[in-house]
Structure 1
Amino acid sequence: MISATGIKKQFGELEVLKGVDLNIAQGEVVSIVGPSGAGKTTLLQILGTLDKPNSGSITINNTEIQNLKEKELARFRNENIGFVFQFHQLLPEFNAIENIILPALIAGKNKSKSEIRAKEILSFLKLKDREHHKPAELSGGEKQRVAIARALINDPVVVFADEPTGSLDSKNQEELHKLFFSLRDEFKQTFVIVTHDLHLAHLSDREIRMKDGIVM
């Protein structure tokens, strides 16, 4: 479902990725692990089309990413990819439902139908009674689950998560670990997770280990 070949990335003289090859199957929960500076987040951003490699090719869901123009790429990203970051990145002036449906509205989807879908996802995430709460009224774990709901609103084929449990306490970390697998089973998405959390990594279907810009 995701195929990357010969991915290289430099920032000035610094070579961050040195020719990464990987393949990820549909429905896998994959963790990318390794020491700080290994290139994990850079790889995740490139796989998620947020950044471009200096060389190499990426295919996601049978689409060759490097062949897309900027507007086509933005549309592809919005329709096929969800993102979850370490810090939830929710807009403070919007409530949970309003935050969740933003990607759907950007995609031009019907607002009422998107709100119904958002409520369905929140119900699955056990946040039905938090629909109209703003971020300041939510706990850390609740904010991250709202962020996950936002990532799922357009039914993406893959969700990329960068240190999604990094800002949570141990109880919420454990709940989020279980949630990723429940989501995969329920919605059939592929999850690619950059993490320092070895417990989460060990639970994954597969660990991709990186060091010094290469896959070990």
Structure 2
Amino acid sequence: MISAQGIEKQFGDLKVLKGVDLTVKQGEVVSIVGPSGAGKTTLLQILGTLDKPNSGSVFINDTEIQSLREKELARFRNENIGFVFQFHQLLPEFTAVENIILPALIAGKNKSKSEKKAREILNFLNLKDREHHKPAELSGGEKQRIAIARALINDPDVVFADEPTGSLDSKNQEELQKLFFSLRDEFNQTFVIVTHDLHLAHLSDREIKMKDGIVI
């Protein structure tokens, strides 16, 4: 489903990625682990089309990302990729449902149908009673689950998550870990997760270990 070949990335004189190859299958939960400075987040951003490599190629479902023009790339990203970050990045003035449907509205989807789907996702995440709450009224774990709901609203082929449990306490970390696998089991959802959370990494179907810009 995802294939990356020969990914290199350089910032000035600093070579961050030094020829990374990897594949991810549909329905896998894959963790990318390694020390700080290993190139994990840079690789995730390239796989998620948020950044471009200096050389190498990325294919997602047989689409070569490097071949897409900017507008095509933005559309592909919106329709096929979900993102979850360490800090939820919810808009404070919007309710849970309003935050969740933003990617659907950007894609030009019907608002009422998107709201209905958002409520269905919230119900699955055990957050049905939080749909009208704004971020300031939610706990850290609830905010992160809302962020996951937002990532899922367009039925993405893959969700990329960057340290998704990093800002949570141990109880919420455990709940979020279970949620990734529930979503995989229920919907065959693919996750690629950069994490320092070794428990989450060990639970994953596969760990990709990085050091000094390469997969080891």
Aligned-partner residue type, residue 160 of structure 1: F
Matched residue of 2:99: which SS?
Answer: helix
Q: Give the drift of 1:61.
A: 1.1
Matched residue of 1:191: which SS?
Answer: strand
Residue in 2 that maps onto 1:122: 122
Residue in 2 that maps onto 1:87: 87
Aligned-partner residue type, residue 138 of structure 1: L
Q: Give the drift of 1:189.
A: 1.4
Aligned-partner residue type, residue 58 of structure 2: I
Q: Give the drift of 1:7.
A: 0.2
Q: What is the TM-score of this pair, normalised by structure 1?
A: 1.00
Q: Give the drift of 1:186.
A: 1.5
Residue in 2 that maps onto 1:162: 162
Residue in 2 that maps onto 1:27: 27
Gaps of 5+ in 2: none
Measured in 1, the distance between the counterparts of 2:24 and 2:77 equals 17
Q: Give the drift of 1:85.
A: 0.1
How do 1:10-159 residues align onto structure 2 when only pairs under 5 Å count? 10-159=10-159
Measured in 1, the distance between the counterparts of 2:19 and 2:107 equals 34
Q: Give the drift of 1:62.
A: 1.3
Measured in 2, the distance between the counterparts of 1:208 and 1:26 equals 16
Aligned length: 216
Q: Give the drift of 1:200.
A: 0.2
1:79-111 Cα deviation digits (max 9, x unpaired): 000000000000000000000000000000000
Aligned-partner residue type, residue 59 of structure 1: F
